[in-house]
Structure 1
Amino acid sequence: MISSTLICIRDGLIWAGCVTLACCLSAMNPAPATAQETADSLRDVQREFNETIRPMLETHCGDCHWGDNTDADLNLEQYETLDQLLSGRKKWKKVLIRVAAKEMPPEDCDPIPDDEHAKLLAWVDQLLNSVDCTNINPGRVTIRRLNRTEYKNTIRDLTGVDYETDGNFPVDDVGYGFDNIADVLSLSPILMEKYLKAAEAITLNAVKDPARSKKVQRFVAKDFTRPRGVNIHNNVMTFPAQATATAKFGVIKRGTYRAVLVATGNQAGNEPVKMKLDVNGKQRQFFNVTKEQGDTPQTFETELRFTQTGEQEINVSFTNDFYQEAKRGEKPQDRNLHFNHLTIEGPIGAQRGQYGKLVLGEPGESKQQQRKVARKSIQVFASRAYRRPVKSDEVDRLMKLYDSAVASGDSIEKALRYPMQAVLVSPHFLYKIEQPVPVNEIRELNDFELATSLSYFLWSSMPDAVLFKLAAKGKLKDKEVFRKQVERMLKDKRAKAVVQNFATQWLQLRSLARMQPDPDMFPGVDAQLRNDMETETKLLVYDLIRRDAQVTDLLKADYTFLNERLAKHYGVEGVKGNKFQKVSSEKTDRQGILTHASILTLTSNPNRTSPVKRGKWIMENLLGEEPPPPDPDAMQLEDQPQLAGTLRQRMEQHRADPSCAVCHKVMDELGFALENYDAVGKWRVEDEVGGIDPRGELPDGTTFQGSKELQVMIRTGMRAQFVRCVAEKMLIYALGRGLEYYDECTLDKIVFELKDSDYRFSALVIAITESDPFRKRFGEGASPGDTE
């Protein structure tokens, strides 16, 4: 047994370094308990609860926490059996924290006698730490649907189609702070309809014969708008002098197009006829036309790049007119351009490459050959989509759709779309499906399941060809091979998904878009600036992960990423343009994410800062502690007109009310350290009333001043608690489920391994991906190590 919630109390105070009184571990590391010792301990827990603790709780806590309509969503009456006690460990941990601090019962109630208080603390501590870590239960994960982001990324990597899910699919539900939690990702009839429509649109876009999908347009002389003097004779446009003729080309798909021009000329002077081609006055290309009128026309081939769709202006010009009067006995010299036609074809290249990834082979004209190509294409497509080798009978069923379409007269491309659509609405694609586990047994994930879990954790998408190949060879179980893959994937640009989907939800950055600072008080803080604020934090987190920095560097980074707009907001000079660039903050008051405008703005009110919100954010997201809900009878600060002074002074007067003190005692002190930053993250030395006082003091006597000392305190004195919080959040995200009491063993192990690896980000990822909950599954039934 590895104790992770032991409370250290000296003279009625929590041991220094702990914020919410859930003390960081002392230097003691008790030897792991055997399974029998754990079972005996659990029997003692239930016996003591029935005989001593439950009657004590009913006496001292029954008025507020017994029966229906209880305070703080805590009904102690519901706990009777050992199973109920074990499943409620998270609530009991909160009980331990509040009772240890003597925040409960509140000041206006009779206190628990000292001897009963000590018994209650000892009993809860025993309950929380009676976990058999010699026989870890890896837990189980409900079959999990891909969320919107994962679906979009998977479609991109599978078909090459960028399908926009945000506007087409409903918003995913969130559980435990993340939108990839299996238990909340339901599949409604409306969403199923969306999947059907998406499958049609995606396959229509993805499976096109490039020879049939290219646009080919031929421009003859009469298709051009030409100036006076440029004549047409026998479908040839003659330029007797320098001039430009213009045609309109409608681009339906961005890309590279092939242009072919045909022309002759009347040669004169000392250089050949010169012809120019340009698009909207750009991409100018010149050609020397050396053939004489009457000869076989000369052909010129080039490429044009269209970066925008819609109507584009194509210009053909004669650029070097020359005329010389006739000399005695000679004809006059007159250089002219005779333009026959222009053909534009495309796009070329890109679409053909994607088509070749989906249609494997040359279909040809033979129906037999086409069916052979179709079966191979469907087999590979379904295997990639299902993230495992597809079975022969599965391919047979899909081929029936193809055969039916061919029998109706469809081309191979159109016929292929139907089985591919079936694949895209199959549960094997829409869900992360794992093989069932026999009841009360533990099974290791196979290589394909492991590859899938790893890729959706780090990339929010399907495994790539490298992972598939290693899984097919059964090599992902090799520890060294697996670690190299984790390192490779973290260096890949797709690892930005860890920031985009994990970090933004862990740090609650997605809420920033909904913030509406008072426009009169904070002009210019619009949606674009708030987006810049979010980008700054995401770029810093990604850079730390990419450099494999220490996890604690989040709270001390002496650099950041700014564009001109955000730099002006901060008052930083020398940053120009919309592009973000790395900027040193070594000699400024902005170091670490707690000084980022993103965090400071989303933890403020529209018209002022909120030490409460900022403190609560720190507790929940950096220290892993959930403050108790506020007393429903407690008045809001704005509803107490008798309060006066600076915001800090008013907050101190507010929490003099016993019903307010419990919540504010810790939160306010943490939040006060950030008061030098206003409601939109700008630095200030005084608020609207007076000077800023950024001091903070915790119940254990620990003091700090300002954001710098606050972050130093968290990353040093509270490092174990901070690192454990980050590990807990990332483990939840990686597993796609909430954590149970038996996961405490895994968290203990992860934190221990992080310490040995200097708290590096890669070590955190590796420790999570090598943990039992990530690599194993437990079958339905009683937990191994649980005792009846």
Structure 2
Amino acid sequence: MIATRSRLFWGSVLLLASVAPARAQDRVPFEAQVRTFADAHCVSCHGPDVQRGELRLDTLPLKLTDPGAAATWVKVFDRVARGEMPPKSKERPPEKDTQALLAGLQTRLHDASRDRQQVDGRVALRRLNRTEYETTLRDLLGSNVEVKDLLPDDNVAAGFDNVSAVLDVSSAHLLRYQDAAEKALRTVIPTRPRAEFKERRTGRQVTEKVAGLKDLLGKVVRLDGDTLVMHVRPWGHVPCATAPAPQAGRYRVRASVFVVGTGGKPLPVMLSCRDQYGRDDADVRAVRDVPAGAPTVIEGEFDLTTRQVIVFTGWSLPETPRTLALSKDPLDKYPGPGLAVEWVEIEGPIGAWPGAGYENLFGGVPLKPTSVAKLIAAGRPEPPQPAKRNPDSYIYDPLTPAPARPREEADRLVRAFLPRAFRRPVSKDLADYYVKTVHAALAQKVPFADAMLLGYKTALCSPHFLFLTEPTDARAKNPRLDDYAVASRLSYFLWSTAPDAELFKLAGEGALTKPAVLRTQVERMLNDPRAARFTANFAGQWLDLRNINATSPDPQLYGEFDDFLFWSMPRETQLFFEEILKNDLSLTNFVHSDWTVLNQRLAHHYGIADVAGGEFRKVKLAPGSHRGGVLTQAAVLKVTADGTRTSPVLRGKWVLDKIVGLPPAPPPQDIPSIEPDIRGATTIRQQLDKHRNTPACASCHKHIDPPGFALETFDVIGGWREFYRGTRGTSVELVNYPGRKIFRGLDVEKGGETPAGKPFKDVDDYKLVLLADKDQLARNLAQKLVVYATGADVQFADREVIEHLVAKAREKNYAFRSLIHEVVQSRVFLNK
């Protein structure tokens, strides 16, 4: 189905350049040619009497310099090229007439689009989105402050939230940017002198620190000497945590642990961050596998704010006492699994003091203590005083930068900061403006730290920081970006942040845009830990992983869903993406692979044996597993369902948009959505059959429904199923969860037939349909990379670039990392 559809379309497009006659040799003026074709084959549906799809062609101007008219003609071109117009129910025009029309339109649309790009560029002035603003502040200031949630949500276009056309700026943005910048800047000044903190607690001491934990002793937790042994996961209490961090910073956390009752298998332990003994949702920082046998020391380094703790939890343990099948024997005789903790330790803050953030903003300026009274007199709020009942509390005098010559230091620091913040050299006049802002505050007796932060905040709320300015190289005939603009475009593409020192240096030397240098830098950046942001922000939006929290599975229907499975779902897809990227594997792996990346919890969910532990590893899939590729991964299957039911329409649209790159048109406004039959009297296929008998729906549903039904054998949390779950009736045991029963509903309706008449029986067959057109898979991914990399949707003149990228991908067996290199070397990336 997809292969036939895309080959028809792109085959026509690629043929046009070779058959398009020179305009000087046209026997009939092109406008007259278009009008004759439209009158004969189009105006009966798109003319004065009927305007299907609100489109009227007999009066649509052929002045393609008008963006609105050009956009409409692009839609006409695409539908004619795909064979969708005129509809098959109408008499088909002669093939030579169709090809002549397409050839002429293609030439003129391309020329008009290219002319606009030469004058205005492809990308409008682009604002940093919320994510980019936060990561840029973090890297610029050397602080892990979270400010994204302070900013308004960003609009989305072409599947991404970094497209310049929809990144508007409102008064709300300007106010929130000030709050965010203020919050971030305040974090760089230490609140207390350098102090080493190290505290070790035995398991027995942990029980004394946690309110209510003693009541659980002998029931679900026990003490073996000074060792705490836990047989359940926490449910409202924090049974094992470090001492709270005394101040914000990076801490080294260690614990001596071992497992019991696992039959020699490792036990996955979650290390999560919470406020001191809080009951809020855990922020999972790491997972470690604790082997059976002798005690093992597990450790990690974590960024914590004041009063935060690291919690140790055995993730494969039962959740509550009710699920712990204790015998009448004492708890120390219980044969089930448990996590034993000899001691936990926290040490820090580690690293240089006063920290990278302070050095970036106040490098060379000494810190001196100041009294709280002075700060209050200056209008600053008094730091919160710790509660007397908390033995871990302390009272301190805040610190403040204290230069010997404030005006001179302000001048030096501001001029050093601005090029880093504005991502390019700064003119003297512009730098003078910000220096004068600080000097004016100092003249009014504002404390040095506050005056400096005022200047920095002004810079961080200015257009020079908020927008990616992209001037072109005056020496180039084409609108080619200068090296600093390329450095920013490259850095925000792969790292979602400002260029680092090496990119900045190469830009200053005018060497960055050399092809060999660009290739070297892309390799360096993809091998850097910051490339995890590319996974989070590109793959997170391409595959909708950001929406993993949007729905919660109904606990009455999906009682096997737990937080361990929930955490594991997106990690599989992220690590799968990174494995393909790291090893330059074929992008066809996104459709199907004979491997995936699993841990114990996901493997159990999928019914895959011999995977123990919570850490992820690459796993070979056996034939018949129905897994492989992203389509069958639990995270994707969850984000394409509503938490209670699956919809072939939603999943079908997702496949066409995200994987195939031929998304269906939005449904007509007067067509109601399908309401599920809660009585179970009709099947989903029967409901859709009735729905798509409507002529306005049939043209889209013939493409949407096949991939939707191919995925119908997966439930809302990605489990394989042969039948739907009900709320009453006959109960059966879940295959992968012995002892857990559900009610059996109707058999799942799977399989179907493509619009081309090719039958498929399940998702395995349907993957073969997709893999029959590898060019279209590459074309889709190339388009999405171009949109995300440049911040602009694909325009008509860009199509020749996309086809060049597809051809290069084909030469290299569709290698994904190589495709990224080709995108960076392309004119759409290097031009404005």
TM-score, normalised with respect to structure 1: 0.72
Does residue 602 of structure 2 align to residue 566 of structure 1? yes
- What amino acid is aligned across from residue 17 of structure 1 in structure 2? A
> Which residue does the alignment assign to 1:292?
none
Does residue 62 of structure 2 align to residue 81 of structure 1? yes
> Which residue does the alignment assign to 1:251?
246
> Which residue does the alignment assign to 2:42?
57
> Which residue does the alignment assign to 2:171?
189
In structure 2, the gaps of 5 or more residues are 198-242, 253-275, 277-300, 310-346, 368-400, 725-743
> Which residue does the alignment assign to 1:329?
none
What CA distance in whole angstroms lies between the structure 2 residues aligned with 1:507 and 1:610?
17
> Which residue does the alignment assign to 2:499?
463
> Which residue does the alignment assign to 1:695?
751
> Which residue does the alignment assign to 1:179?
161
> Structure 1 82/698 Cα, relative in aligned 2: closer, same or farther at 3 Å?
farther
1:741 to partner: Cα distance: 1.2
State whether residues 168 and 194 of structure 1, in contact with CA within 8 Å, keep that contact through their aligned partners in structure 2: yes
What CA distance in whole angstroms lies between the structure 2 residues aligned with 1:207 and 1:38?
68
Does residue 556 of structure 2 align to residue 501 of structure 1? no
- Using CA pairs under 8 Å that are at least 6 residues apart, name the structure with larger relative contact order, 1 or 2: 1
State whether residues 365 and 403 of structure 2, in contact with CA within 8 Å, keep that contact through their aligned partners in structure 1: no
What CA distance in whole angstroms lies between the structure 1 residues aligned with 2:793 and 2:27?
23
> Which residue does the alignment assign to 2:585?
549
What CA distance in whole angstroms lies between the structure 2 residues aligned with 1:24 and 1:598?
32
**Match of residue 517, structure 2, among 471, 481, 492:** 481
What CA distance in whole angstroms lies between the structure 1 residues aligned with 2:423 and 2:822?
24
What CA distance in whole angstroms lies between the structure 2 residues aligned with 1:689 and 1:363?
72
State whether residues 150 and 179 of structure 2, in contact with CA within 8 Å, keep that contact through their aligned partners in structure 1: no
State whether residues 20 and 666 of structure 1, in contact with CA within 8 Å, keep that contact through their aligned partners in structure 2: no
> Which residue does the alignment assign to 1:427?
463
What CA distance in whole angstroms lies between the structure 2 residues aligned with 1:48 and 1:689?
59
> Which residue does the alignment assign to 1:114?
92
> Structure 1 684/306 Cα, relative in aligned 2: closer, same or farther at 3 Å?
closer
> Which residue does the alignment assign to 2:769?
713
In structure 1, the gaps of 5 or more residues are 1-13, 106-110, 218-247, 258-279, 281-303, 313-343, 778-788
- What amino acid is aligned across from residue 636 of structure 2 in structure 1? I
What CA distance in whole angstroms lies between the structure 2 residues aligned with 1:179 and 1:566?
30
1:747 to partner: Cα distance: 0.9
What CA distance in whole angstroms lies between the structure 1 residues aligned with 2:536 and 2:47?
45
> Structure 1 568/40 Cα, relative in aligned 2: closer, same or farther at 3 Å?
farther
What CA distance in whole angstroms lies between the structure 2 residues aligned with 1:129 and 1:189?
43
State whether residues 363 and 373 of structure 1, in contact with CA within 8 Å, keep that contact through their aligned partners in structure 2: no
State whether residues 46 and 56 of structure 2, in contact with CA within 8 Å, keep that contact through their aligned partners in structure 1: no
- What amino acid is aligned across from residue 745 of structure 1 in structure 2? E
**Match of residue 630, structure 1, among 667, 674, 692:** 667
1:604 to partner: Cα distance: 3.2
- What amino acid is aligned across from residue 698 of structure 1 in structure 2? T
Does residue 390 of structure 2 align to residue 407 of structure 1? no
> Structure 1 87/24 Cα, relative in aligned 2: closer, same or farther at 3 Å?
closer
> Structure 1 654/489 Cα, relative in aligned 2: closer, same or farther at 3 Å?
same
What CA distance in whole angstroms lies between the structure 2 residues aligned with 1:383 and 1:669?
54
What CA distance in whole angstroms lies between the structure 1 residues aligned with 2:444 and 2:723?
78
What CA distance in whole angstroms lies between the structure 2 residues aligned with 1:250 and 1:680?
37
Does residue 641 of structure 2 align to residue 604 of structure 1? yes
- What amino acid is aligned across from residue 793 of structure 2 in structure 1? G
- What amino acid is aligned across from residue 707 of structure 1 in structure 2? V
Structure 2 SS opposite 1:170: coil
- What amino acid is aligned across from residue 748 of structure 1 in structure 2? E
State whether residues 249 and 349 of structure 2, in contact with CA within 8 Å, keep that contact through their aligned partners in structure 1: no
Structure 2 SS opposite 1:661: helix
1:771 to partner: Cα distance: 1.5
Does residue 105 of structure 2 align to residue 127 of structure 1? yes
Structure 2 SS opposite 1:197: helix
State whether residues 660 and 777 of structure 2, in contact with CA within 8 Å, keep that contact through their aligned partners in structure 1: yes
CA deviations on 1:308-338 (whole Å, 9 max, x unpaired) are: 74499xxxxxxxxxxxxxxxxxxxxxxxxxx
1:653 to partner: Cα distance: 5.5
1:206 to partner: Cα distance: 1.9
CA deviations on 1:202-260 (whole Å, 9 max, x unpaired) are: 2222245x9x754699xxxxxxxxxxxxxxxxxxxxxxxxxxxxxx9992334579xxx
State whether residues 611 and 671 of structure 1, in contact with CA within 8 Å, keep that contact through their aligned partners in structure 2: yes
1:599 to partner: Cα distance: 2.0
What CA distance in whole angstroms lies between the structure 2 residues aligned with 1:201 and 1:157?
15
What CA distance in whole angstroms lies between the structure 2 residues aligned with 1:490 and 1:141?
24
> Which residue does the alignment assign to 2:317?
none
CA deviations on 1:557-586 (whole Å, 9 max, x unpaired) are: 322233444333323344455544433324
State whether residues 649 and 708 of structure 2, in contact with CA within 8 Å, keep that contact through their aligned partners in structure 1: yes
State whether residues 724 and 751 of structure 1, in contact with CA within 8 Å, keep that contact through their aligned partners in structure 2: yes
> Which residue does the alignment assign to 2:79?
95
1:453 to partner: Cα distance: 0.6
Does residue 337 of structure 2 align to residue 355 of structure 1? no
- What amino acid is aligned across from residue 509 of structure 1 in structure 2? L
1:145 to partner: Cα distance: 0.8
Structure 1 SS opposite 2:664: coil
> Which residue does the alignment assign to 2:376?
none
> Structure 1 249/494 Cα, relative in aligned 2: closer, same or farther at 3 Å?
closer
Between 1:572-581 and 1:717-726, the stretch displaced more is 572-581
Structure 2 SS opposite 1:561: strand
What CA distance in whole angstroms lies between the structure 1 residues aligned with 2:355 and 2:85?
71
TM-score, normalised with respect to structure 2: 0.69
1:468 to partner: Cα distance: 0.7
What CA distance in whole angstroms lies between the structure 2 residues aligned with 1:656 and 1:305?
58
1:449 to partner: Cα distance: 0.6
**Match of residue 182, structure 2, among 200, 211, 219:** 200
State whether residues 572 and 597 of structure 2, in contact with CA within 8 Å, keep that contact through their aligned partners in structure 1: yes
> Which residue does the alignment assign to 2:22?
37
Give the alignment of 1:68-467 within 5 angstroms.
71=53, 74-76=55-57, 79-83=60-64, 85-96=69-80, 100-101=83-84, 104=87, 111-115=89-93, 119=97, 123-124=101-102, 126-128=104-106, 130=108, 137=117, 139-207=121-189, 213-214=193-194, 251-254=246-249, 309-310=306-307, 349-361=352-364, 371-409=407-445, 412-435=448-471, 442-467=478-503
**Radius of gyration: which is bigger?**
1
Between 1:477-486 and 1:500-509, the stretch displaced more is 500-509
Identity %: 31
State whether residues 360 and 417 of structure 2, in contact with CA within 8 Å, keep that contact through their aligned partners in structure 1: no
What CA distance in whole angstroms lies between the structure 2 residues aligned with 1:402 and 1:585?
62
Give the alignment of 1:519-598 within 5 angstroms.
519-525=555-561, 529-576=565-612, 578-587=614-623, 588-598=625-635
Between 1:442-451 and 1:413-422, the stretch displaced more is 413-422
CA root-mean-square deviation: 4.0
Does residue 805 of structure 2 align to residue 750 of structure 1? yes
What CA distance in whole angstroms lies between the structure 1 residues aligned with 2:407 and 2:348?
30
> Which residue does the alignment assign to 2:320?
none
What CA distance in whole angstroms lies between the structure 1 residues aligned with 2:546 and 2:24?
44
- What amino acid is aligned across from residue 697 of structure 1 in structure 2? E
CA deviations on 1:54-86 (whole Å, 9 max, x unpaired) are: 4642224448862xxx53x54546622231553
Give the alignment of 1:661-676 within 5 angstroms.
661-676=698-713
- What amino acid is aligned across from residue 747 of structure 1 in structure 2? I
> Structure 1 74/583 Cα, relative in aligned 2: closer, same or farther at 3 Å?
farther
Structure 2 SS opposite 1:552: helix
What CA distance in whole angstroms lies between the structure 2 residues aligned with 1:443 and 1:102?
36
Query: Would you say how many aligned residue pairs link Structure 1 and Structure 2?
Result: 642
**Match of residue 727, structure 1, among 759, 765, 782:** 782
- What amino acid is aligned across from residue 80 of structure 2 in structure 1? L
- What amino acid is aligned across from residue 714 of structure 1 in structure 2? L
State whether residues 782 and 802 of structure 2, in contact with CA within 8 Å, keep that contact through their aligned partners in structure 1: yes
> Structure 1 477/53 Cα, relative in aligned 2: closer, same or farther at 3 Å?
same
- What amino acid is aligned across from residue 96 of structure 1 in structure 2? V
What CA distance in whole angstroms lies between the structure 2 residues aligned with 1:187 and 1:598?
33
What CA distance in whole angstroms lies between the structure 1 residues aligned with 2:751 and 2:187?
60
What CA distance in whole angstroms lies between the structure 1 residues aligned with 2:575 and 2:402?
54
> Structure 1 434/712 Cα, relative in aligned 2: closer, same or farther at 3 Å?
same
1:654 to partner: Cα distance: 4.8
State whether residues 585 and 816 of structure 2, in contact with CA within 8 Å, keep that contact through their aligned partners in structure 1: yes
> Which residue does the alignment assign to 1:272?
none
What CA distance in whole angstroms lies between the structure 2 residues aligned with 1:366 and 1:627?
63
